[in-house]
């Protein structure tokens, strides 16, 4: 028996909106630790890892580890029917072939339940080793989204370079080139407006903008994004999910042939 009650149901809507364009079908894994997902895009170039810790739920009952295979676009359709302030409860029996989403309005005057068919998904679960990164950039998530969107009108790839000067996002295309430099800046009114660059070594990596733009669908989840770079690893683009977890996107770089 699985029963997860999330008071901030709007968070789940935002999580689905940030996943559904990248991944079609995925297994949600429920354990005592929390509600999690790991999935790759169909080209196996990007990977997403979601964790919503059990402590973040108002009520979290998971009698035994359960894997729920869901079509993410169908799940997003169902969650779209919930109000942004609704309380969302996810329910499933141990041997269930469906999952129930229950939506309660904040003042309890409307209660809806939606039942969605589950699917068998044969997914690979990858081991992601803990890594030391050469550079970690924290910046406003809306700024990062704007940069990815702007650069993708000019080129297909972005070179992200971190030096003492700051973090530089560069692209080139048929019409010309573009470079945007963001400097370390903590003299801001609000902490979420800060850009914090921690650099052990300079690093420069090339990525497909199409994927970066897809990751920025998570922007409504968090004011800040963390971009972790190492020359021999995929980049990690992380958004916190309130105080209860995170969504991490991993993207393999492009390398010179």
Partner 1 sequence: PCLQRRILDYFNEN
Nearest to partner 1 of 47, 225 (CB atom): 47
Identify which range of 108-116, 118-126, 141-149, 162-170 contacts partner 1 by CB under 8 A. 118-126
- Of the candidates 190, 210, 205, the one whose C-alpha atom is nearest the C-alpha of residue 236 is 205
| Cα–Cα dist 22/256, whole Å | 25
Least distance in Å: CB of 35 to partner 1? Answer: 19
Among 8, 141, 157, 161, binds partner 1 (CB under 8 A): 157
Q: Does 253 bind partner 1 (CB under 8 A)?
A: yes
Least distance in Å: CB of 190 to partner 1? Answer: 35
Identify which range of 19-27, 93-101, 166-174, 246-254 contacts partner 1 by CB under 8 A. 246-254
- Of the candidates 7, 6, 14, 10, the one whose C-alpha atom is nearest the C-alpha of residue 34 is 6
Q: Does 110 bind partner 1 (CB under 8 A)?
A: no
- Of the candidates 156, 139, 146, 150, the one whose C-alpha atom is nearest the C-alpha of residue 237 is 139
Kindly give the pairing relationship between strand 87-92 and strand 2-6: antiparallel
27 beta partners: 69
| Cα–Cα dist 62/42, whole Å | 30
CA distances from 77 to 12, 20, 71, 81, 256 (A): 12, 10, 10, 7, 40
| Cα–Cα dist 105/126, whole Å | 38
Least distance in Å: CB of 28 to partner 1? Answer: 17
| String marking each residue 188-207 x if it binds partner 1 according to CB under 8 A | ------------------x-
Q: Does 126 bind partner 1 (CB under 8 A)?
A: yes
Q: Does 132 bind partner 1 (CB under 8 A)?
A: no
Helices 72-80 and 9-19 cross at an angle (nearest 10°) of 140
Nearest to partner 1 of 103, 250 (CB atom): 250
Chain positions 204 to 233 lying near partner 1, rule: CB under 8 A, are 206, 208, 233
Least distance in Å: CB of 126 to partner 1? Answer: 4
Which SS3 state, helix, strand or coil, does residue 36 take?
strand
Q: Residue 196 burial (CB < 10 Å; 0-12/13-18/19+)? A: middle
Nearest to partner 1 of 39, 72 (CB atom): 39
Chain positions 37 to 96 lying near partner 1, rule: CB under 8 A, are 40, 43-47
Nearest to partner 1 of 12, 218 (CB atom): 218
- Which residues here bind partner 1, judged by CB under 8 A? 40, 43-47, 124-129, 157, 206, 208, 233-234, 250, 252-257
């Amino acid at each position: 028996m699985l029963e997860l009650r999330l008071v901030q149901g709007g968070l789940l809507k935002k999580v689905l909106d940030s996943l559904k364009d990248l991944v079609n079908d995925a297994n949600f894994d429920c354990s005592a630790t929390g509600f999690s997902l790991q999935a790759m895009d169909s080209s196996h170039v990007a990977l997403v890892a979601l964790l919503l810790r059990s402590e973040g739920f108002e009520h979290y009952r998971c009698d035994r580890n359960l894997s729920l295979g869901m079509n993410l676009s169908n799940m997003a359709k169902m969650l779209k029917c919930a109000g942004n302030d609704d309380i969302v409860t996810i329910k499933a029996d141990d041997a269930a072939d469906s999952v129930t989403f229950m939506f309660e309005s904040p003042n309890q005057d409307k209660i809806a339940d939606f039942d969605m068919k589950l699917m068998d998904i044969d997914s690979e679960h990858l081991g992601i080793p803990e890594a030391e990164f050469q550079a970690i950039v924290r910046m406003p998530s809306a700024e990062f989204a704007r940069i990815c969107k702007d650069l993708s009108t000019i080129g297909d790839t972005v070179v992200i370079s971190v030096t003492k000067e700051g973090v530089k996002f560069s692209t080139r295309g048929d019409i010309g080139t573009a470079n945007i430099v963001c400097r370390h800046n903590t003299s801001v009114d609000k902490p979420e407006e800060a850009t914090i660059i921690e650099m052990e070594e300079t690093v420069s990596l090339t990525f497909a903008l199409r994927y970066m733009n897809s990751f920025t669908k998570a922007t409504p989840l968090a004011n800040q994004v963390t971009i972790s770079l190492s020359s021999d690893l995929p980049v990690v683009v992380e958004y916190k999910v309130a105080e209860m977890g995170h969504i991490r996107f991993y993207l393999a770089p492009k390398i010179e042939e």
